[in-house]
Amino acid sequence: HGYSRYPVCEGGDPDRIVGYIYAKDLLTTPRGTKPRLRSLLRDPLISHESRTVGELLSEFQLTRTPLAIVVDEYGGTAGLVTLEDVVEEIVGEIQDEHDEEPPRIVRRGEGRIEVDGTLPLDELEAEEIVFPETNDADADTIGGLIVEQLGRLARRGDRVRLGGYNAQVREVRDRRVKRVLLVPRPVSQFPPRPSTAPKDPSQGPA
């Protein structure tokens, strides 16, 4: 259905949500294994329906949890809200009808790649642009991955290391990472590999 996170209820009762499952956790389990759902559960943010959107955004930022279960005055489940829902409620999706959006992936030579910040990570993987950091990430887009690495909302000029690239935030719009430039990291920035060459016996003891 296009969703990446699913709430899990105890006994099928929506008022007894015990956590949520991240689809990527299911997809990355070794083939042939049958993990117990409880071992894959993640804790959602629990918030009251009286909270304002601004207060809920602050809770999301404090807990770094992308999904909230909203409860009513009786302790029952009123619904669920994602961080994306809250951000869109605050800033909306602003785009002029005359604006021409650049291509989502632009290869600029010398291995540099400029990408749309909202590009899903799986689409980048299809283009053979892979970051090891996605293995432990909750983000679905490269912009979200950068925000996770920074631990805060991104600003223009921010830089983080993603796999074999230095990722630079080129544009931020409505608090979202809009454009990212990926520059291949020089070999000198990679940790040296331990030497496996046999020691020359003629050199004597160290």
Pick the closest to residue 29 from 135, 167, 106 (CA basis): 135
* pTM metric for this prediction: 0.47
- Supply the angle between the helices 53-63 and 83-91 in degrees, to the nearest 10: 140
Q: What is the chain's length?
A: 206
CB 35 within 8 A of CB 51: no
Domains and CATH numbers, the chain: 5-91 (3.10.580.10), 105-187 (3.30.465.10)
Query: Digits of tens for pLDDT over the chain (206 positions)?
Result: 457 888 999 888 999 999 998 888 877 777 777 777 788 899 999 999 888 888 998 999 899 888 999 998 888 899 999 888 887 777 655 444 445 667 889 998 889 999 999 888 888 888 888 888 777 777 888 998 898 888 888 899 999 999 899 999 999 887 789 999 999 988 665 555 555 555 555 555 54
112-116 and 159-162 strand pairing: unpaired
User: What is the SS3 string spanning 181-194?
Assistant: EEEECCHHHCCCCC
